[in-house]
Amino acid sequence: MDTSSPLPSRLATGDLASASVNAVLRSIDDSRQPDPDRIAMAYRSDRLLRIDGESPSVWSPYSGFWRAADGWLRTHGNYPHHASALCRGLEVPADATADDLRSVFAAASVRESVDRIADAGGLAVEVGREKPGHDAALRARPLVEIRRMGADAPPRSHASSVPTAPLRGIRILDLTRVIAGPVCTRTLALLGAEVLRIDPPHLAEPQWQHFDTGHGKRSAILDARSEQMNALLKDADVIVLGYRPAALGRLGLSPDVLADRHPGLIIAQLSAWGLEHPDRAGFDSLVQAESGIAMIESPDGERPGSLPAQALDHSAGYLLAAAVRETLARRSREGGTWHISTSLRRMAAELLGMPRRDEPQPEREIDPELHSQTFSVAGRTVVTAAPALPGFSFAAPRVWGGDRPLWRSPHTVRV
């Protein structure tokens, strides 16, 4: 029986999705088999999301593929500051239309447009072909890297005896945004951890995005340089980082600094392009485009295409969550301070190394009502995808930024 998730594509998207979710189940010694349809709906959760019966618009007109004079590029402008930077770089009005952008891109080379956008602080990449040698080199490294680092620390445990909440008693500090990191911390919250998401005062999160991945977490606004952040870190078991490595360094939150100041902390880090590219920002769609995935999924061999879900993001999130769970168990036995890392580009290399089809398998209808949960959040009715993990149910997402930056419960460490 085919146990891969029905996510039609030439690449083995469904196999990667099923393997990623199963990694979480293995980490908690759960032998149940997840429903492939449920996994597919979880990976396409943005399509299932309803707020007061309406489907939110999840893509900005400044995000997409554009034909240039000599090829294709992909832009990402979902956040207002990225859209503004794109317009500045291209020297078009802040309210430029898609037709305006299309004309500008068509008159220039891919490299010219990508450089102009990047120089202004925006996000764009050339749509490329796959690079088998580079991908093979990436696959020679672990899919998720785990290393012991920093000052030694004695074993400590907050082990739970509750099968439905194996991470009860664990505190997770969440400094992530946009799918991969939030999927990781949402999964850790699903397993019973106390997750506190922290966002900076100057960068609001789209409401729909938080409703889609904020289940079971508390959410607060806090300057990462504040003393309150240091107090939160002092009592955290795990910090999950999703910002650019260079930005973390400027905030005093690099893994080396965290390990030195907080022995015993588990530092889980996600990046778009890998830690060897500390200044480079990115998103799933951009990694798909540059890595060659977009051209493999082309509908006609000419226009770029895309995977049926933000599968690099979701898989990175599940696999990082599994690694966090396994490292918590290891810390309880051995002690130590630990660093866990993976990237969307490493996920792309993994997918590109898996068996592929000449053509995508046909799309199959899945009844969304069988794979959704409904919540009331601040007077709004929110329908989201249900958990991919069998036997678990999400707690409701909370209002973004609506909580105080404090741990909720007493923290009893067993050494």
Domain carrying residue 107: 64-126
CATH number at residue 302: 3.40.50.10540
Say whether both 112 and 255 belong to one domain: no
Residue, of 363 and 111, whose pLDDT is higher:
111
Is position 3 within any domain?
Answer: no
Asked whether the predicted pLDDT for residue 411 surpasses 60, the reply is no
| Residues above pLDDT 90, as percent of the chain | 91
Q: What pLDDT shows up at residue 203? A: 86
Q: 297 with 270: CB under 8 angstroms?
A: no
Q: Which of 360, 353, 396, 393 is nearest to 378 (CA)?
A: 396
- Give 3-state DSSP helix, strand, coil % of the chain, rounded to 5: 35, 15, 45
Q: What pLDDT shows up at residue 392? A: 96
Asked whether the predicted pLDDT for residue 412 surpasses 70, the reply is no
Question: Residues 185, 400, 258, 261: is their CA dihedral positive or negative?
Answer: negative
Q: Which residues contact 91 (CB under 8 A, 6 or more apart)?
A: none
Asked whether the predicted pLDDT for residue 300 surpasses 60, the reply is yes
Say whether both 107 and 176 belong to one domain: no
pLDDT in tens, 163-191: 789 999 999 999 999 999 999 999 999 99
Asked whether the predicted pLDDT for residue 409 surpasses 70, the reply is no
Say whether both 280 and 344 belong to one domain: yes
Is position 159 within any domain?
Answer: yes
Say whether both 333 and 272 belong to one domain: yes
pLDDT in tens, 44-86: 999 999 999 999 998 999 999 999 999 999 999 999 999 999 9
Cα separation, 192 vs 394, whole angstroms: 10
53 phi-psi bin (left φ>0, alpha ψ -120 to 50, beta other): left
pLDDT in tens, 96-134: 999 999 999 999 999 999 999 999 999 999 999 999 999
State mean pLDDT over 299-313: 97
Say whether both 251 and 188 belong to one domain: yes
Q: Which of 343, 327, 341, 322 is nearest to 388 (CA)?
A: 322
Say whether both 79 and 223 belong to one domain: no
Q: How confident is the model at residue 361 (pLDDT cuts 50, 70, 90)?
A: confident
pLDDT in tens, 374-397: 999 999 999 999 999 999 999 999
Q: How confident is the model at residue 159 (pLDDT cuts 50, 70, 90)?
A: low
Q: Which residues contact 54 (CB under 8 A, 6 or more apart)?
A: none
Q: What pLDDT shows up at residue 415? A: 34
pTM of the model: 0.96
Say whether both 152 and 100 belong to one domain: no
Is position 236 within any domain?
Answer: yes
Asked whether the predicted pLDDT for residue 413 surpasses 50, the reply is no
Is position 407 within any domain?
Answer: no
Is position 136 within any domain?
Answer: no
Say whether both 81 and 19 belong to one domain: no
Say whether both 70 and 110 belong to one domain: yes
Q: What pLDDT shows up at residue 152? A: 80
Say whether both 37 and 156 belong to one domain: yes
Amino acid code (one letter) for 247: A
Cα separation, 294 vs 9, whole angstroms: 11
Say whether both 199 and 290 belong to one domain: yes
Domain boundary among 126, 153, 169: 126
Mean pLDDT of the chain: 94
Is position 403 within any domain?
Answer: no
Asked whether the predicted pLDDT for residue 410 surpasses 70, the reply is no
pLDDT in tens, 252-296: 999 999 999 999 999 999 999 999 999 999 999 999 999 999 999
Is position 226 within any domain?
Answer: yes
Structural domain count, the chain:
2
DSSP-based three-state secondary structure for 383: strand
Say whether both 100 and 243 belong to one domain: no
* Lowest-confidence segment of 137-141, 155-159, 215-219, 264-268 by average pLDDT: 155-159
Q: How confident is the model at residue 4 (pLDDT cuts 50, 70, 90)?
A: confident
State mean pLDDT over 40-45: 97
Q: Which two tokens stand for residue 262?
A: 């907080």
